[in-house]
Structure 1
């Protein structure tokens, strides 16, 4: 028995200092399961246990051909697709989106068609609640108050310019009605924090662009950029689906829903300042549950009452107002735990579901090649305008032309907001029985949202990775800022005697 333990227990077979690949593989499969293999087995076991529970409750619906079975397959395959794509150093959401599309369109493995549309709509709405609450908690009120004019311009100018450009182009090129065109513009106008933020954190760690605060500037402006896009989307969504109402009501409904969302968020956020008790032993759990339920009420309640445009903004505002007070001295006990809970809920559950379901909404047999080509033309036109106005927005920030170019490239990726909002118009058209014309437009919006993610997420990620070291200035340990491609000269300076460094820096 001891000889067997000696062979199979990883604690008794530690890795050498410089292990070979075969030694690493052997070590990974030693007992008990550990490391990546342990995590993989745990995830598989969780999915298996949940499926068995669903099988004993729903029977046929949890078997192949059933709705629950299709959801489990989509979730597992999307998670796997995200992991595979992440190995290529691309955003995982791209793999999730592609897998969802494949499960709907590849002959022989069509599974997504078994998913009930109502279930899909509800799950996407819950995912929207999670991501908006997470975004609201991430907004720092104090930091936003200190934003300079240049950061405010970067938040609003490129987003507004792109939304207006896409709205006009969609009307003239795609034949969209004006309101649908600007709805599409608001969807496209938002940058993706899911792609942008990890890269900006990496740049901060490497000291690239930190001498002028470029990573911080882009992260802060990205949050406000999304708020503007979501607010505009809410207004146009309400205008589109109030076409049967009186003209005066159509005129005021957009601003009315905007005001309703803000009012709901402020009132509920203020309520969460005092409930639950700050000294409660389970404070973080209460905060998480209250925020989640308040967001779900905003999203589902706004649809149920006919004011669907107010839900997204109400959810975002609730989290922002509540989080603002929780950051204050004396109020921040257990703040990190609800934020961490929403992060985990998004990363491990709703991100694979949302992007998988969005990909599954795209039916290849309903897409015309001409429409795709024209949609890409509209997309590219919007991106060009966005990059131009990004350069204009940061022109007064004291950046070099290289840094301005990098800011424009970093402002390209789209993903999270597009996935969250892209299907809402289609869901609304189906729920309200708005007719085939509206449903067709909703399907086109979903298709374009998917194209946006597929094209811009990897393009932006690769653009940031490939240009950051050549376009940004690296902040050095000796207190001088040098261009990143001059690292070899910097190494010579660091290795020189102290009395010679001043002369070398001046000459350099």
Structure 2
């Protein structure tokens, strides 16, 4: 066999082997019948509705049992006041109905449950079921707890390093729209509703507060899909925190000036030092949380939560009792933000730690009661139509100017992003609900049932409730529905790139409020 013949033989052998391999490959390919797939084949079966809802059903069954046991204990311990016709039972049942109605509203429409709770309180008042005016001391006590929970919950998510690096933008967005609206509210109410200047500024300090927790769920959802360098959850919640601190501090300052008699010189000292003292106390106590309790303590988790919670409650009550209203709320913000920063260096992620979980659970319990009890202060009668109509005009004027200033304060953002910020800066909800009835309770406890101050406090209450009912659903729906369109683009988020990249420890996943 010559060389050419041997080459032909080798080619034939290789070709035969290739045919064999191709044949084997073709034979080994399985034929999958999609109709016969089972979980064992690697494709899990779709769960039934009952299976998917079983944990939720048992969750609510557990809550019902716990609620019934608690009520039974209170009834047998304190007697008829906790019976079915008792006054305390009525307070509790209104809060429970507010909670249930809020869940239903949220599940059916995605709107914030606070709206249903507020309407529940208004309805309970007009059916004669509950009126918190009959319990001014109870209401005042509760309204010293609410701020500690909501302010502490929000500030646990703050990334202090992000705030330091972007302080100009955060301070501008937090302070400029707020300051403008406070002055505008005071001017409008003075000339249109004849409110005294002091009452106008008291109203403005509440009215101008933005409610970031209402829009944070859509901000978190859409912020994850937004390109660029803007850390949207941190930007919104920290700028909103500045706004909230100004509202709480200024309201407390004006409220103390109006309802606590003291020397004029001392009032001036409080006016100058209230906010700085609150920040200093909060930072000092939050820094102490770095060392107390020790990170190796067996009960470090429980003690850390109790440390900041008890400190916030005591600080808020103590400062209010000595006439330094507002200082305690600012201290809570500074304390929890400082403590969370130190804890993050020891392994606790910002807003994803046991302390944040406890605050979220506490707020879930407090929120329906807060809005329901606030609603019971709102009295509907024929003579309020003029006030509400003028109030709607004031709301439109103030909101327009506020959002214009907010867009100007975001000088480094694109037009779409400025619109998104304006959507998030629309709701007036939580701080308004916490603070608006305090003036009524203070006047009633001082015996001023026929005082002109009660009339002014009623006007303040009506205007704020109107603002809550109008701006909360609008702001939430705009942020939720326009968010994908406004943030989902390939352009640079920041024209001058002044924002820090999204590698902050408070990324969207770690910034949940």
- TM bin (shorter chain): 0.7 to 0.9
Which residue in the other structure is 2:342 paired with?
Answer: 325
Displacement of 1:18 in angstroms is: 5.8
> Does the 8 Å contact 1:82/1:93 carry over to 2?
yes
Using the alignment, how far apart are the partners of 2:143 and 2:471 within structure 1?
A: 22
Q: Compared with structure 1, are the counterparts of its residues 458 and 334 closer, same or farther at alpha carbon in structure 2 (3 Å cutoff)? A: closer
What is the alpha-carbon root mean square deviation over aligned residues? 2.8
Displacement of 1:452 in angstroms is: 1.7
Secondary structure in 2 matching 1:64: coil
Secondary structure in 2 matching 1:273: coil
- Show CA shifts across 1:202-250 (max 9, x none): 1023x146565455432332222222222222222222224x4443333
Secondary structure in 2 matching 1:412: coil
1:61-210 residue pairs with structure 2 within 5 A?
61-87=81-107, 88-106=109-127, 110-112=129-131, 116-147=135-166, 149-205=168-224, 207-208=225-226, 210=228
Aligned residues: 448
Q: Compared with structure 1, are the counterparts of its residues 268 and 367 closer, same or farther at alpha carbon in structure 2 (3 Å cutoff)? A: farther
> Does the 8 Å contact 1:130/1:346 carry over to 2?
yes
Using the alignment, how far apart are the partners of 2:142 and 2:223 within structure 1?
A: 35
Secondary structure in 2 matching 1:59: helix
Q: Compared with structure 1, are the counterparts of its residues 176 and 209 closer, same or farther at alpha carbon in structure 2 (3 Å cutoff)? A: farther
Larger radius of gyration: 2
- Show CA shifts across 1:431-467 (max 9, x none): 4446622233233323322222111110101112332
Q: Compared with structure 1, are the counterparts of its residues 438 and 260 closer, same or farther at alpha carbon in structure 2 (3 Å cutoff)? A: farther
TM-score, normalised to structure 1, is 0.81
- Show CA shifts across 1:181-205 (max 9, x none): 1121121212112212111101023
Which residue in the other structure is 1:217 paired with?
Answer: 235
1:358 and 2:358 equivalent? no
1:241-320 residue pairs with structure 2 within 5 A?
241-242=259-260, 244-320=261-337
> Does the 8 Å contact 1:165/1:382 carry over to 2?
yes
1:385 and 2:405 equivalent? no
Using the alignment, how far apart are the partners of 2:80 and 2:370 within structure 1?
A: 25
Secondary structure in 1 matching 2:143: helix
Displacement of 1:38 in angstroms is: 1.1
Report the more deviating stretch, 41-50 or 445-454: 445-454
Displacement of 1:92 in angstroms is: 1.1
- Aligned with 1:407 (options 404, 414, 421): 421
Using the alignment, how far apart are the partners of 2:418 and 2:345 within structure 1?
A: 35
Secondary structure in 2 matching 1:138: coil
Secondary structure in 1 matching 2:289: helix
Secondary structure in 2 matching 1:364: coil
Which residue in the other structure is 2:501 paired with?
Answer: none
Divergent runs of 4+, >4 A: 16-19, 112-115, 209-216, 329-335, 432-435
> Does the 8 Å contact 1:134/1:343 carry over to 2?
yes
Using the alignment, how far apart are the partners of 2:349 and 2:236 within structure 1?
A: 26
> Does the 8 Å contact 2:152/2:333 carry over to 1?
yes
Report the more deviating stretch, 332-341 or 168-177: 332-341
1:24 and 2:36 equivalent? no
> Does the 8 Å contact 1:74/1:112 carry over to 2?
no
Which residue in the other structure is 2:253 paired with?
Answer: 235
Secondary structure in 1 matching 2:428: coil
Displacement of 1:366 in angstroms is: 8.9
Q: Compared with structure 1, are the counterparts of its residues 158 and 191 closer, same or farther at alpha carbon in structure 2 (3 Å cutoff)? A: same
Using the alignment, how far apart are the partners of 1:314 and 1:267 within structure 2?
A: 9
> Does the 8 Å contact 1:28/1:37 carry over to 2?
no
Using the alignment, how far apart are the partners of 1:249 and 1:301 within structure 2?
A: 17
> Does the 8 Å contact 1:211/1:473 carry over to 2?
no
Relative contact order (alpha carbons < 8 A, sep ≥ 6): 1 or 2 greater? 2
Using the alignment, how far apart are the partners of 2:132 and 2:254 within structure 1?
A: 30
1:429 and 2:446 equivalent? no
